Structure 1
Amino acid sequence: MVFILAVKLLFHSRAQGLKMPDSAMMIVAGFCVGTMLDWFLPHDVYLDPDLFFLYLLPPIALEAGYFMPNRLFFRNIGTILTYAIAGTLWNIITIGLTLYLFSDFYKIKIAFIDLMLFSTLISAVDPVAVLSVFTEINVNELLYICVFGESLLNDAVTIVLYHALSSMAIIGSEHLVLNDFLRASGGFFLVAIGGILIGVIGAAATGLTTRFTKELSHSQPLVCLLFPYLAYLIAELGHYSGILSIVVCGLFMKPYVRRNMGEDATITVKYFLKTIASHSEAMIFIFLGLSTFSRNHTWDPWFIAVTVASCFIYRFIGTYLFSAICNKFRVEKIGLVEQFIMAYGGLRGAICYGLVMTLDKDSIPAKDMFVSTTVVMIVVTVFAQGSTIRPLVHFLQVKKKDNHVPTVTEIMVTNARDDVMEGIEAIAGIHGQYFWRRRLSQFDREFIRPLMTEKMSSRGDELVEKYNRVKSTSSQARLIQSLNLINNDSSDPLSNHP
C-alpha cells in the first residue's frame, strides 16, 4: 500500500503533462520492481488466487455497485443488459471459435473447452482509465452509464461463466457429455439468481443495521463495509456468484444507508471505498508488471496475434450490432460517435489478469501461454487505447454533459411529466417504463423505506430535501466560480501594476 501511494504521488507530481492512465503507471512500476527482483530471487512472484478472490476483487466490485447512478442505470437497464449479457456472450463465442479455427498454427494442441475458457476470461473489460477520462471531460450521461453499466455486469457474467467452464475443463473435453452442458447452463442461472438474492438480503441487513445504530455513527461505516463483504463470502461458500451478490448489495443499500447516516459517516464510506478499491486494482496491476519476468512464460506469436485481433474486431462488430438493435426500441438513440468510443474503450485489466492467474495448471496445460497472452493483451489495450482515449474524445467532439443544476421548478416539472406519461400509458393500456417506475417507487416509499430508514419521508419531504440539495449545489458552484475569478486575477501580471 505504501509503495502504491508513493508511486502515485511521484507520478502525479512529476508528470503533469503526461496523460497516462494510472493502470499503465502501475504496470511500469511493477515492471521496474520485477527487474530488480529478477536479479535476487530464484523464484517467481505471482498473484495468489485466494488473494485475488478473497481480498482484491470484493472492494472493486463493491465500489462499482455503490457508486452506480441508480436512476440512470435503471432507466437504461435494457440497453445495459443487452451489452453486458448478449454482447459478452457474442465476444466469448466468436473469440473462442476464431481461436479454435487457427488451432493448427499454435505451438501446442489446446482443447476446445480450454479455448472457450480463455475466451471467457479475456472478454472481461476493465474501462477504469476510460471512465476517469469521461468523468474529467464530463461526457454525456448516456455514454457514461452504458460504459459503466456494461463493464460492471460484464465482469459478473464473465466470472460466473468462468467458474462454470472451469469445472467443465477439469472433467476434460473427451469426457464431456450432453448432461454436463445442460448442468452448466442450468447452473449459470442458479448461480446468478442465488447471488442476486443474497445481495438483496445483504442490502436489507445493512440498511436495518444502520437504522438501529444511529447513536453509533462511528460504527456505521464499518457496517457498510463488512455486511456486503459478508454477503460475498456467504455467496462463495454456497457456490453462488459472490461478485453479483456484493454488486447488488452495494447498489440496493445505497439509498437507505445514506438516509440513516450522518454527513461524516457518508463521506467516510465514500472515500474509504474509493481508496481501497483503487489500491486493490493498483495491486493487481503491480503483480501484472511483476509477472512479465516470470520464467514460465510461453510466447506463441500466432496465438497472441489471433487473440488481440479477435478481441479488437469482435468488440467493434458486437457494439455496432447490438447498438443497432437497441436503437430500434430507444427514444434517445445511441450515436455512431458514442458507439465508437464504447467499442474503443473495451480495455482489459485487473479482472482479466486475476482470472487467468487462478487457472489450475494441472487441468489447463496451456495456462502459461494463456497468462503470457493475457499480459500482452492488457499491456496493448492499457497503453495504446487507454492513453489515446482522451485525445480521441476531444477529436470526435463527443457530446458533453449539461452542467446546468436543475432548479426545484424543473424537478417538479420532471415529476409531473412522469405522472402524465404514466397516465398516457394507462389510457393506452400499456404497462411501460413509466408505469413500472411509478409502481416500484410507490412500493418502496410505502413498504421498504419505512422499514429500512428511521424516518418515513413523504413526497413533500423529498421535495424539501431536493430543494436543499439544489441550493447547496448552487452555493458551491458560485463559491468555486468566485475562487476561480480571484485566482485568475491574481495570476494576471497586469493586475500587479496600477
Structure 2
Amino acid sequence: MHVFDIIALFIFLAGLFIFVNTYFLKLPSSIGLMIMAIVLSVVLLGVGQIFPGLKIGAAELEEYDYAEVLYHVVLSFMLFSGALNIDFKKLSKQRTPVLVLATTGVLISTFVIGTLIYYMLHFVGIELDYLYCLVFGALISPTDPIAVTKTIKRFNLARDLEIKIAGESLFNDGVAVVLALTLLDIAHAGEDHPLSVFETAYIVGADIGGGIFIGLFLGYLGYRLLKYVDNDAVEVEILITLAVVMVGSFLADFVHVSSKQAAVVMGLVIGNEGRGEHVTSAAGDYVFKFWNLLEESLSAMLFVLIGLEMLVIPWRFDYFAAGFFAVNIVLFGRWLSVFIPIKLMSVKRSFDSNTIPVLTWGALRGGLPIALSLSLTEFHGKDIIVTMTYIVVVCSVLYQGLSVPILMRSFSNKE
C-alpha cells in the first residue's frame, strides 16, 4: 500500500459517513463525521485487542508518512479556497472589525495560549520549549469557517454579527497557519544558536514578505489568464487556478519562503479581482463552486482523520491530562482575543451585545489544526502538540458544536 491508498481510504470513509449522517443521524456534518470516526477507531482498537494477529491499529497508519501530502496539498488548497471566498465588498462596514479580529485576535490568542500552555505543561511535568508552545497557540487559533457558516445561517442573528463571524473565521485561517509555520522556523533556527533580533526579523520578513510577493505575482497572473480565457472554457479556468496554487506552493518552498502565505494572497487576489466584470460569470458560477466543493471534501476527510487519530496518538495519562487542561486554556485565549479588540474598537464603533459570547463559543475548531499539527517537521515535543490538538478539536466539535445552537437560539429569540 502507498500513501495515496490511505488517502483513498479517507475519501471512502468520508463519503460513507456523510451518507449515513445525511440520511440517518442528521447531525451537523462536522459532528456526525467526528462521532462516526471515533466509533470506528474504538471498534478497531477493540478488535486489535481481541485479535492481535489482525494488526489493526497505530502501526497500520504510522507506516505511511502522509505529512507531505497534508502540508503541500491539503493546507495550500484549503487556505487558497478560504481566501478565495473572502469578498471585501461584502464585508463593507465590517471590514475593519474582521481584519482586526483575524490579525490582532490571532496574535493575542497565540501569545495567551502559548504562555499558559508552557506553564501548564511545566506543572504536569512535561518539558516543551516556549517557542513550540507558541506554535501550538498559533495552530489551534484558526476556526472552522464551514461549520461556523452553516451554524449561523440556521438562526436569526443580527446581519452585522453574521458578517463578523463568517468573515473573521474565513480570514483567521491564513493568519494563524502562517504565524505557526513562521514560529516553527524560528524555533528550528534557534536550536543551533540563540537568534539575534536581526536574525529573527530576517526569518519573519523572508517567510512572510517572500510569500506575499509570490502570491501577488502569481495571483495577478492567474487573474489575467482568467480574464483572457473564454468564459465557456470552465475546465481551463479551473485548471488555471489549480496550476497557480501548485506552482505557487512549489516556487515558495523552492526559495524557502512561506508557501501558505502565497496561497492566501493568491486566493485574495483572484477571489476579489475575479469577481469583477471581466470574469464574473465564469469565476462566480464555476471556479468558486469548484473550490467550495473541494474545501468541503477536504474538510470531511480531515474530520475522518481526526477520529482515526485515536489510533496513533500516544496513550499517556500526562499527555491526556495536558490536553484537557488545554481545552480550557484555548477557550480562555479565544475569549480574551475577542474581548480585547472589541472593547478597544467599541470606543468608536457599536457592536451587538451578543458579539463576544457568540464569537467565543461559536469558534469551532476543525480539520485545519489537525492537518497542520500532523504536517509539522519532527522535533522534541511534537507528540504532545498533536495529542493536545486532537483533544481540543474533538472537545470543540462535540461539546461546543452540540451546545452552540442552544446559545445562538437564545440570542436570536431575544432579537
TM-score (ref. length: structure 1): 0.71
The match for 1:236 is 253
Shift of the alpha carbon at 1:384?
A: 1.0
The match for 1:41 is 55
**More contact order relative to length (CA 8 Å, sep ≥ 6):** 2
Equivalent of 1:323 in 342, 347, 350: 342
Q: 1:378 to 1:103 in 2, by over 3 A?
A: closer
The match for 1:101 is 119
Equivalent of 2:410 in 369, 383, 395: 395
Paired residues of 2:103 and 2:175 also in contact (CA < 8 A): yes
TM-score (ref. length: structure 2): 0.84
User: What RMSD in Å do the two structures reach over aligned CA positions?
Assistant: 2.7
Q: Map of 1:14-53 to 2, 5 A cutoff? A: 14-16=24-26, 20-35=27-42, 37-38=44-45, 39=48, 40-41=54-55, 43-45=59-61, 48-53=66-71
- Could you tell me how far apart the structure 1 residues matched to 2:92 and 2:208 are? 19
Paired residues of 2:252 and 2:259 also in contact (CA < 8 A): yes
Alignment pair present for 1:382 and 2:397: yes
Q: More displaced, 258-267 or 237-246?
A: 258-267
The match for 1:353 is 370
Q: 1:82 to 1:399 in 2, by over 3 A?
A: farther
Which protein has the larger Cα radius of gyration, Structure 1 or Structure 2? Answer: 1
The match for 1:205 is 221
Shift of the alpha carbon at 1:302?
A: 4.2
- Could you tell me how far apart the structure 2 residues matched to 1:185 and 1:226 are? 32
Shift of the alpha carbon at 1:215?
A: 7.2
Q: 1:318 to 1:185 in 2, by over 3 A?
A: same
> In the alignment, residue 204 of structure 2 is paired with which amino acid?
F
- Could you tell me how far apart the structure 2 residues matched to 1:212 and 1:104 are? 58
Please state whether the residue corresponding to 1:222 is helix, strand or coil: helix
Q: More displaced, 351-360 or 139-148?
A: 139-148
Q: More displaced, 282-291 or 29-38?
A: 29-38
- Could you tell me how far apart the structure 2 residues matched to 1:321 and 1:355 are? 27
Q: More displaced, 230-239 or 256-265?
A: 256-265
Alignment pair present for 1:286 and 2:286: no
Q: Provide Cα deviations, 1:81-122, integer angstroms capped at 9, x if missing partner.
A: 321222112122122222233344324322323322222222
Q: 1:311 to 1:171 in 2, by over 3 A?
A: same
The match for 2:240 is 223
Q: 1:269 to 1:104 in 2, by over 3 A?
A: closer
Paired residues of 2:87 and 2:271 also in contact (CA < 8 A): no
The match for 1:461 is none
Q: Provide Cα deviations, 1:217-242, integer angstroms capped at 9, x if missing partner.
A: 24223223332443333233333332
> Which consecutive residues of structure 2, in runs of 5 or more, have no partner in the other structure?
1-10, 49-53
> In the alignment, residue 98 of structure 1 is paired with which amino acid?
L
- Could you tell me how far apart the structure 1 residues matched to 2:306 and 2:402 are? 18
- Could you tell me how far apart the structure 2 residues matched to 1:9 and 1:213 are? 37
Paired residues of 2:77 and 2:245 also in contact (CA < 8 A): no
Alignment pair present for 1:112 and 2:127: no
Equivalent of 1:246 in 263, 268, 293: 263
Q: 1:165 to 1:257 in 2, by over 3 A?
A: closer
How much identity, in percent, do the aligned residues show? 20
Q: How many pairs align? A: 391
- Could you tell me how far apart the structure 2 residues matched to 1:328 and 1:129 are? 31
Shift of the alpha carbon at 1:271?
A: 2.5
Paired residues of 1:299 and 1:373 also in contact (CA < 8 A): no
Alignment pair present for 1:5 and 2:15: yes
Q: Map of 1:128-277 to 2, 5 A cutoff? A: 128-137=146-155, 139-171=157-189, 176-179=193-196, 181-214=197-230, 217-218=233-234, 219-258=236-275, 259-261=277-279, 263=281, 266-277=284-295
- Could you tell me how far apart the structure 2 residues matched to 1:211 and 1:358 are? 35
- Could you tell me how far apart the structure 2 residues matched to 1:3 and 1:103 are? 35
> Which consecutive residues of structure 1, in runs of 5 or more, have no partner in the other structure?
401-498
Q: Provide Cα deviations, 1:133-178, integer angstroms capped at 9, x if missing partner.
A: 12333643422332233333322222222223223333566x5424
Paired residues of 1:168 and 1:176 also in contact (CA < 8 A): no
Q: 1:274 to 1:387 in 2, by over 3 A?
A: same
